[in-house]
A and B are shown apart, each in its own frame.
Chain A
Amino acid sequence: MVSKEMASVKIPDLIGKSVPRLDARDKVTGAARFADDLQFGPGLLYARIKRSPFPHAIIKSIDISKAQALPGVKAVVTGKDFPGFIGLYLLDRHIFCRDRVRYVGDPVAGVAAVSEEIAEKAVELIQVDYEVLEPVLDPEFGASPDAPLVHPDLSEYEVVPFILPRAGTNISNHFKIRKGDADGVWNSGQCAAVVERKYRVPHVQHVPIEPHVAIAQVNEGGTVTLWGSSQSPFAQRNLIAKTLGISQSDMRVIAPYVGGGFGSKAGVSMEALAVAIAMKTKGRPVKLRLTREEEFYTVFVRQGLVAYFKMGCDENGRLLAMENKFYWDGGAYTEYGVNMTRAAGYSSSGPYEVPHVKTDSYCVYTNHPVSGPMRGFGMPEMHAGLEQCIDDLAEAIGIDPAEFRKINCLKTDSILVTGSKMHATGLPQCVQEVIRAIDWGRKEPPSAPHKRRGKGIALMWKAPAMPPNAGSSAWVELNEDATVTLGVGGQEIGQGTFTAMAQMAAAALGVPYDWVRVAAPVDTQYSPYEWQTVASRLTWSMGNAVVNAARDARRQVIELVAEAWDEDPEDLDIVAGEVISYKSEESISLKDIVVYGLPKPNDSGWMGGPVVGRGTFMPTYVTGLDPETGQGERAVVHYTTGAQAVEVEVDMQTGAVEVLRAVAAFDVGKAINPELVKSQMEGGFVQGLSTALFESLQLKDGVLQNPSFVDYRIATSSDAPADIHAIIVEVPQDDGPWGARGIGEHSMVPTIPAIANAIYDAIGVRPGPPPFTAEKVYLAMLDAAIAE
C-alpha cells in the first residue's frame, strides 16, 4: 500500500500530464489484435448454442441424436455433462441448463462442428421438450409471496457471507439500512416537506462494439486455455476452474484487446460455454462468437429497477429522513447482480448527509435476461429516481434545486448512511463548478418559437463495489537498454489503463514515459494477479501495485549504485533514466547497470544483476456491515463523487429532446492523465445521455422485441452536444497513487436525472421512466395540455 505520506510528497511531472495513449497507434492503424483476429489454423471448430425459446420452463427431455449424426459435428453437449454451479457471489447457474430454463436464450445444449453453418444446422436438429411454466416478469411481483419461484433451490446455493438470500422466495439478496429512526421522523411531523415518488428504470444493454468471443482449447492432459474478449481473465480462470473441478493453474486465460466492455465482459458469461464444449473435443480449439442478437439477450444486461423514495426536510431545506425501497429486476440469474443491490443499499442516501435512513434493497429473480454489472453498477439506476426526487423535494420546500444540493451534499467528515465518516471529498467544489459552468439560474431563449429550454443538475457518488479484499499485483522488469516491461493483470478495455499504468511506473521509477512497455496481452500464465477490470478500481488499486513494483525496482537500483559508489541511498535518485547523486553529483545511466550489474573495484567480481520489481496492493480495512442495520465501521474503500448539469431544448411539436450542452465535474483525487480523465467524463456522459433518451430493452412476456441496432437505438455523435465541458476536481485520496481514485463509471451515473430535471425545468412535466423518447415526452405534454 502506498502510505498516507504520498499525498504530501512532491508529485512527479509525469503525473498529471496528458501523454499520448500507448495503444492509439495500433488501434488506429488496425494492427491491434482482438480475440476474433487470432488464428487457430484448420483444426479450429465452431460452436453454436441451442437456447431456450421460453422465459420459464422445465426441460422434460433433450434429444441430441440427430445433431450428433450430422456430418461435420464433433461434439454435442448438454447440462447432463456439467453438474457444477458457477457464479461470482452466489453460485446459482449451471453452464448449460440441467432441469429448467429461466430466460429466453438460456443455453440448453452446445455443438462444435467444422463450420459455423454446420454447427447452426446441428442446433436446429436438437429437439427439446419443455413444460412451460408461468414466468415472473416484474420484480415487485417477483418479491411477493404470490410469485412462482424461479430458483426453488435458492437456500441450497453457495453464497459469500455479505449476500443474504431469502429462502423460499425470489429474493436473492435483501440489504437493509436502519440508520437513526426514519419512522420516528415521519410520525413526529418534524418535516416541513415530504415527497414520495415511484420510479422505474428499464433494462438496457452495454452494446460493446465487439461482441463476445471466446476460443477454448483443452489438451489431452486436461489443461485448459481460453482466449477471449475479457475484462476479467483472472476471475474467469478462478470461476471456470472451480466449476470444472480443475486447478486454477491448469486453466489459462489469454485476453487480447477488448472492443468495449462496460461490465458485460466481467465475471463469466458465455466463456464457460466454449470451455465446456472444448472439454469434449480435446486437442481442438473451439470458437464461440455471439451474433449481435445473442449479445442483446444472452449475455449480461443492466438490471431493471422499481424504486420507491420518500424524503423529508426541515424548513431550511435540510434533509431529515429518507425511506427507500428498491426492487431490482435481477433476471434469471443473479450470481453477479446480487452485489449491485448491496451497493445500492449502502449508497442509498445518495451523496447526501441524512440523519435517518431506512432502506430495503431487494434483488429479485425474474424470467428476464441475466442482469449483471454495467458501468455504474446500480448507481445510474438508483440515482435516476433519487436525484429527481431531490429536485421535487427542493421545489416542495421552495428552494432552488442547486442550492438544496449545496446545503445537503456530503462534505469531508459527514456521517454516511452506513454510519462511518466521509473521507476528504471535493463534492461541494464539483457542485459549485457545474453551477458556474452551466450559468445556473439564467434562462436562455429557445432557438425556435416551438421549442422550450431548461437546465438540470444532478449529483452522484459511487464506491468500488467488490469483495473487501480484491487484490492487485504488478511487476516491473528492466531491459538491457533500460526500457521497462510492466506486467499487469488488469485489462485495457478502451479506458486507457495501460497508458496510466505506464505513466505511473515511469514516474515512480524515474524514467521517461516512452521507455515503458506494458506486457500484453494479459495472460494468466505470465501476468500478475488482478481481481477484475471493474469497479473503476484499476487506477487506484492496480496503480498502487504498479507504483509499489516500480519503487521496488528503483530501490534495487539505488541500493546497488549506493554500494558501488559507497554513498547513502538517501542521497541518490533516478531522474530521466539516470541514477544521480545529490551529494557527489555523480551520475550513471540505467542502461549500464540494470541487467549486467556493476563491476566491483579492481576486477574483483560483480554486484547487482537483472532488476525485477514486484508490487501488490489489497485494501485491508473494509469491515462487514450489520445485516439488520447496514451500519459498520467502513463499508467501502472510498467514494468518487461528482456532478453534472445540462441544458436541453424540447420540441413542443414532436417531444424531441436535444441536449444542447453538458458540464461535468468529478473529484478524481488526482488526474494521472487529464485528457484520459476528460475522455471518461465525455464518454460516460454520452452513454448516460443514450440511456436517458433512447435505450431500453423492450421485453414483452419475457421476449426481447428489439434485439438489434435497427430498433435498439444508441446515441451517435450527432446526438451528443458539441460542448461537453469536463472539469477535474482534485481532493486527494489518502491511499490512492498520488491521491488518485477512479472515474470510469461515475461519469454516467448522474446523467439520466440531470436530463430529466432539465426537461422538467423546460416544460414543467416529468415524462415518466427513461428513456425520455420524443413520443413519451410528447404524450406527457399532451396529457398536461401543453403540447402544440
Chain B
Amino acid sequence: MGLNARVATLPGHEITVEEQQEFRVDDLLPSRVMRPADAQDAARGLRLCDLVPAAVVTWGGGTQMRLGATPRRYEVAFSTERMTRLLEYEPADLTCRVEAGMRLQDLQESLLAQGQRLPLEPPHPERATVGGMLAANANGLGRARYGTVRDWVIGIAVAYPSGKLARAGGKVVKNVAGYDLMKLHIGALGTLGVIAEVNFKVQTRPQVEATLLAHFEMLAPAIDCGIALARQYLAPAAALVLDQGALRDCGLAADWRWTLALKLEGYAREVEAARNKATGIIRDAGGRVEEGDVPSTFWETARDWSAPDDDHVVVRAIVPLTSIHAILNALPPDSRMMALPGAGLVDARVAPGSAASTLQRLRTAGGDQGQVIVAAAPAVVKKGLDVWGPPPPGFPIMRALKQALDPNGILNPGRFVGGI
C-alpha cells in the first residue's frame, strides 16, 4: 500500500481543495486533516499517524506558519481547532488550565472578567492559539519586563507519536517535581509532540497604563535610552524603537527619524514616577518627548508587525544588549525595523533580494552569543535562505531528544533548527 493509501486510512477526513489552501505550509499541501476533540483524542490520532507513518504539521491559529524551514514532508494537518475549552480557572490562585486550541484573546477575555491577565502578547491574539504561542515561543513587546512564555507556563500535557499523553509540571505556581518539560516544548515548533493542554500562572491587571513617545535624530541614543530604561527598577512594560517606515506602518505619519515608544504600567504613582524618570533620561540623551495623541491601534499594530500575513521577509536578531548597536549598523538602508533594546531583540523587514546578505551580515555582527533567524518569509524566498542559521553548540543533544520522542520523524520534519 502506498503512502497516500495508508494516509487515507487515518481518521479525520480527506481534505477539500479549499481546506488544502487553508492548511498550506509554504508551498506544501496536506492530503488529510485531523481535528482531535481533546487531549486523549490527540494522542490516539498522533499514534495512528506514527503507524503510517504520515508527516504531521500541527495547526493552531496559523499566525506563525511562516516561521521555520519548509518541511520535508507534509501529509496530515493536525488542527487543534476543537480543543478550545478553559478547563480550570481559580482567580484567587492566579492559575488556569486551558486546551491548546484556545485563542489567546478568548483566554484574555476570561481573565479580564476577573481583573487578571496573562502578560504575554504574541501577534494576532484574535487568531493565535495558546498551543501555537508555546510552540513558536511567540512573545510580545513586554518581554523585557514580564519575561517570556517560559516564565508563565506552569504545566503542560503533550501528545506524543507513541500515543502517550504525558504531563509535566502541574497546577501550582511553585513546583519542582520531575523534569521541566514545559521548557523543552516551548519554542520546539511542535517537533517533539503536540501540546494539548497548558497550565498558566496569571497576574492582576495593572491599575494604570500610559504611552510615552519620544523622537530622536540619531538611532544610538534612542537605543541607549531603551536599554537604560529597561535597567530601571520601574522598567517600562514595553520600550520599542522604530524607524520612520515602521512608525508609519503603526499608523503614525509623523516626520520623526527614530521613535522611542514606551508603554508604562503599574500603580498610578509608579506610572507617574516612571514617566518623570523616562522624560529625564530621554531629554538627557537629546530626545524629544511628544505630547500628542497616540493612535488607539498603535500598540496592537506594533505587536503584529513582526508576524505579517503578507509576503514580507522578517529577520530577527536576539543578542546580548551590548551587541544591539552592531546589529542595527548591519541592517541594509532600505529595511524597516523595530527593536526592543531592553530585550536584546531587533526585527527587520528586508527586501527579499537582500535577505540572504542581510542574514550573513547580522550573523557576523551578532557574534557567537547572538542568534539571527528568519521570523517570516514566503516559501519562494525561504528556499534560498538558511532560516535558523548554524545549529547551536548543544545540537547533538537536540537531535537525540528528537529521536527519543519522535523516532519516526513525523512531527514537522525538517522545519526546525538543523533540519530537525
A and B associate in one complex: no
What residues of chain B have their CB less than 8 Å away from a CB belonging to chain A? none
What residues of chain A have their CB less than 8 Å away from a CB belonging to chain B? none
